[in-house]
Amino acid sequence: MAVIVCHGLKGGAGITFIAAHVAMALSEAGAEVTVLTVAERDTMLLHFGLQPALTLPSLFAPAEDAVLAGGINLRSHVHAIDDPDFMPTLQDLGYLGTGLDRVMVIDVPASEFHFARRVIPHASANLCVLNAAPDTLALLPQALGEASAETIARTTFAINALDETRRLSRHSAAFIRELIGARQLGRVRLDESVPEAMAMLQPLARYAPTSAALSDVRAIGAALVPALETPGRPWVSRGTTGAASASRAA
Ligand X SMILES: Nc1ncnc2c1ncn2[C@@H]1O[C@H](COP(=O)(O)OP(=O)(O)O)[C@@H](O)[C@H]1O
From Mg ion, ligand X, none, which one binds at residue 194 (CB under 5 to 8 Å depending on kind)? ligand X
Return the number of other C-beta atoms located less than 10 Å from residue 233's C-beta: 11
Comparing CA positions, the residue from 70, 39, 64, 33 lying closest to residue 52 is 39
* 45 belongs to the binding site for ligand X (CB under 6 A): no
> Which string of DSSP letters, residue by residue, matches 121-139?
GGSSEEEEEEESSHHHHHH
* Among the listed residues 1, 2, 6, 16, the single contact to Mg ion using CB under 5 A: 16
From Mg ion, ligand X, none, which one binds at residue 14 (CB under 5 to 8 Å depending on kind)? ligand X
Supply φ then ψ for residue 34, to 5 degrees.
-115, 135
Residues 166-225 that bind ligand X (CB under 6 A): 188, 190-191, 194-195, 198, 213
* 127 belongs to the binding site for Mg ion (CB under 5 A): no
Distance CA 120, CA 162 (A): 26
Distance CA 73, CA 64 (A): 11
For residues 97 to 136, the per-residue mask of contacts with ligand X, x marking binding by CB under 6 A and - elsewhere, is -------------x--------------------------
**Residue showing the smallest CB distance to Mg ion in the complex:** 16
Residue with smaller CB distance to Mg ion, 42 or 191:
42
Number of H helices, E strands in the chain: 11, 8
Residue with smaller CB distance to ligand X, 1 or 194:
194
* 89 belongs to the binding site for ligand X (CB under 6 A): no
* 42 belongs to the binding site for Mg ion (CB under 5 A): yes
Q: What sign does the CA torsion over 189, 46, 94, 103 have? A: negative
Give contact residues for ligand X (rule: CB under 6 A). Answer: 8, 11-17, 43, 110, 160-161, 188, 190-191, 194-195, 198, 213
